[in-house]
Amino acid sequence: MNIVVLVKYVPDATADRQFEDDFTVDRVNVDGLLSELDEYAVEQSLQIKEKREGEEITVTALTVGPEAAEAAVRKALQMGADKGVHVVDDAIAGSDAIATSLVLAKAIEKLGAETKVDLVVGGLASTDAGMSVVPAMLAERLGLPQVTLASVVETQGDQVRIKRDGDVATEVIGGTLPLVLSVTDQSGEARYPSFKGIMAAKKKPLETWSLADLGVDASQVGLGAAYTAVEETAARPPRTAGEIVTDEDGSGAKALAEFLASKKFI
Amino acid sequence: MAEVLVLIDHVGGQVKKPTYELLTLAAKLGEPSAVYIGGADGAAGAAEAVKGYGAEKVYVIDDAQIKGYLVAPKAEALAQVAGAASPAAILLPSSAENKEVAARLAIKLDSGLITDAVDLDESGVATQSVFAGNYTVKGKVTKGTPIITVKPNSAAPVEKAGAAAVTPFEVTISDAAKTAQIVASQPRKASGRPELTEAAIVVSGGRGTGGDFSAVEGLADALGAAVGASRAAVDSGWMPHTFQVGQTGKTVSPQLYVANGISGAIQHRAGMQTSKTIVAVNKDEEAPIFELVDFGVVGDLHTVLPAVTEAVKAAKA
C-alpha cells in the first residue's frame, strides 16, 4: 500500500507574519515550519501503517515550496515517514491553490507511475492561507473520491471509514481506496520525533523534483498564473484595550451590566 | 443583467439566514438566482423563502439520486447549472462542505475561487480576514466565473420581492461522483440556542470554567446568545468540538463576544478577534485577552457571570 501525506511549510503563526510588495505571503523573512495541522496527517498516515502490520506500506511525505520547505519533509521523515519528495522550482512562487493542486496532482501521478498511490492524506487546513480546499481540488484533478475532516479514521482492506463532526450531525463516512483523506486536529495528538527517528531520518531518501520533472510548464504556475488577484492588504489596526475593572464584592458584575446596557445589548 | 447563482443553505427546505445575506450581496453583482439542492418536498417552501430576498429565479435540483453522497455530486450539479446559466458569479455560504464543493467546481469550470469572504462589492472585490484576523485582504477573481464562499454575518439581509420563478433542473451525476457516502448520521441535539457562526452574541468559556459551563450557559440564555468554548475546554472534554471558537474550530464575528476564563492564545484570537465588541472576565489580570477587550473584568467568572445574568434578566423583565 502506498500512502502519500501532504505537508506544507508555513510561516510560524506565532511570528510576525506579513506580505511582500506583490501581496504574496512572505515565506523568506519569517521563520517557517511544518504546518501544525499537517502533523496530524502525518500521524494518521503512520498509524494506518502501524495498524496494518504485516502489509508492505510506504508513507511518502510530499511538499511543494521553496528551498526551506525541505524542513517540513524532514520533520515528517523524523516522525516516521519512509521517504520524502520536495517539489521546488522558482516558477512556483506565488502559486494559488489551483496551481498548487496541479503540481501536487502531477507529483502524485509521477509517484503512482512507480507504485499505485492508494491513499492521499492531508490536514484540516494550512495555518497560513487556510482555505481548506487543496484536498478537494486534488481529488477532482485525480478523479478520486474524498473523505475529509476526519476525527477518527479506520481502514480495513480497501475500505475507509471516518467519523466527522459536521455542523448539524456527527457522520460516519465510507469510501473505497484509492481516495483522498483529510484529518482534523481532533484525530489524535501527533507524535514527537524520537532521537532514533531523527537519526534514522538522515538516511531516508528525499528526492527533489522540478516542474520539468513533472511535465508542468512554468506558465501554469506562480503568481502570473493565479486565478485571483489581491488588490490590497492592510494590517488590521490593533485593538486598543478598553476599560478593565477589578471585581470587588460584586462591583465587577455591576460595571459589566452597565457597559452592556450602554451598548444596548440589554 | 447576468445571473448570479446563490446556493441555498437549508435543512429540509428550511432556509438558513446566510442564504439571505448572499442573495443581498448577489444583487450587487447581477440578478440573483437561487439554487436549491434538496428533497422535492422542501422546494416550494425554500422558493417562497428566497422570494422575499430578491431571488428572480430558483433552480430546483431534486437530490433523490445524490442524497447521502458527499461534495462531488453537488459540484457536478452546480457545474451543470453554471453551464446553462452562464452566471456572472457563483456564491456559496462558507461551510466546510461548501468550500470543498467550491474547490471541485473551480477545477471543473477552470475558474478562480475566493473562500471565506466577509464582504463583496459591486465590482466583485471580496474582502477576507487573514493571518488570525491580523490582516484584511481585498482581491478578486481574474479568470473564469468567480466562485466565492461567503462567511455568515457578512451582510445585513435586505428584504426585496423577487419573481422566484421555479425552474426544475435535471442533472446528470456520474457514478464516479457517488463513491464517498454517508453510512450513518447522528443529528446533533437541538440546543434551542442560535447557531454559533450566525449568532449576534456569543458567550464563551475556557479553562477558567473548571469544566462547569453553567454560569456561561446562564448568561448566554439570558442574552439570547450562542455558547462557545476555547480549545482548552474542548481538549479537556468539557464541550464538544463543534463549540470550539478558534483557528481549528469556528470563526465568529458577532456584535458582542464575551470570553470567560479564556486566556486569549493566538489559536483563540484567530476565531474571534473580528467581533465588534469584546468583553472578557478572567481571574488573571495578565491574561492576553485583556489586550483585545472593550471592557474587561478581573474576577471570578463563577460569581461575576451569575450576577450579570440576574441584571440582564431584571433589565429584560
Residue A220 lies in a domain: yes
Residue A170 lies in a domain: yes
At A243, phi and psi to the nearest 5?
A: -80, 135
A207: containing domain: 2-225
Examine the pLDDT at A12 and tell me if it is beyond 90: no
Cis amide prior to B152 (ω within 30 degrees) = no
Residue A58 lies in a domain: yes
Residue A15 C-alpha from the chain's centroid? 18
Q: Do A230 and B107 touch (CB under 8 A)?
A: no
Residue A249 lies in a domain: no
Q: Do B316 and A266 touch (CB under 8 A)?
A: yes
pLDDT score, position B235: 92
pLDDT score, position A174: 96
Residue A53 lies in a domain: yes
Residue A247 lies in a domain: no
Does B128 belong to an annotated binding site?
no
Examine the pLDDT at A54 and tell me if it is beyond 90: yes
- Written as nine digits, the cell of A40 is 496530524
Strand partners, B228: B204
Residue B39 C-alpha from the chain's centroid? 22
Closest approach of B212 to chain A, Cα-based (Å) = 19
How many domains, in total, are found in chain A?
Answer: 1
Which A residues 75-114 touch B at CB under 8 Å?
A: 96-98, 101
Mutate: best of A14, A181, A239, partner B, most B CBs <10 A: A239
Examine the pLDDT at A13 and tell me if it is beyond 80: no
pLDDT score, position A74: 97
Give the relative orientation of helices A97-114 and A134-142 as an angle to the nearest 10 degrees: 50
Evaluate whether B3-177 and B201-316 have a shared fold.
Answer: yes
Distance separating alpha carbons of residues B44 and B51, to the nearest angstrom? 11
**Between A and B, how many residue pairs show a Cβ–Cβ distance under 8 A?**
260
CATH number of domain containing A48 = 3.40.50.620
- Written as nine digits, the cell of B71 is 461534495
Distance separating alpha carbons of residues A139 and A137, to the nearest angstrom? 5
- The percent of residues in chain A predicted with pLDDT above 70, rounded, is 100
- Written as nine digits, the cell of A158 is 480497501
pLDDT score, position B223: 97
Q: Do B296 and A234 touch (CB under 8 A)?
A: no
pLDDT score, position A219: 96
- Per domain, the residue ranges of chain B are 3-177, 201-316
Q: Do B70 and A246 touch (CB under 8 A)?
A: no
CATH code for the domain defined by B3-177: 3.40.50.620
- Written as nine digits, the cell of B58 is 430558483
Residue A173 lies in a domain: yes
Residue A141 sits at the chain B interface (C-beta within 8 Å): yes
Q: Which amino acid is at B267?
A: Q
Strands laid side by side in the B256-260 sheet: A243-246, B295-298, B277-282, B256-260, B201-205, B226-229
Examine the pLDDT at A166 and tell me if it is beyond 90: no
Mean pLDDT, all residues of chain A:
94
Q: Do A136 and B130 touch (CB under 8 A)?
A: no
pLDDT score, position B131: 83
Give the HSE-up count for residue A213: Cα atoms under 13 Å, Cβ half-sphere. 17
> What is the value of ipTM here, to two decimals?
0.91
Does B262 belong to an annotated binding site?
yes
| Contacts of residue B310, Cβ cutoff 8 Å, sequence gap at least 6 | none
**DSSP symbol at B175:** G
Distance separating alpha carbons of residues B155 and B263, to the nearest angstrom? 30
Question: In chain B, which residues have pLDDT < 50?
Answer: none
- Written as nine digits, the cell of B233 is 475546554
pLDDT score, position B42: 96
CATH code for the domain defined by B201-316: 3.40.50.1220
From B297, which residue of chain A is nearest by alpha-carbon distance?
Answer: A245
Q: How far is CA A248 from CA A187, B214, B260, B297, in A?
A: 43, 22, 17, 10
Q: Is 0.80 surpassed by the pTM of this model?
A: yes
For the ranges A208-212, A262-266, B301-305, the lowest mean pLDDT is seen at A262-266
**Angle, alpha carbons B112-A140-A229 (nearest 5°):** 15
pLDDT score, position A194: 96
Residue B181 sits at the chain A interface (C-beta within 8 Å): yes
Distance separating alpha carbons of residues B252 and B133, to the nearest angstrom? 11
- Written as nine digits, the cell of A246 is 477589578
Residue A258 lies in a domain: no
Distance separating alpha carbons of residues A87 and A69, to the nearest angstrom? 9
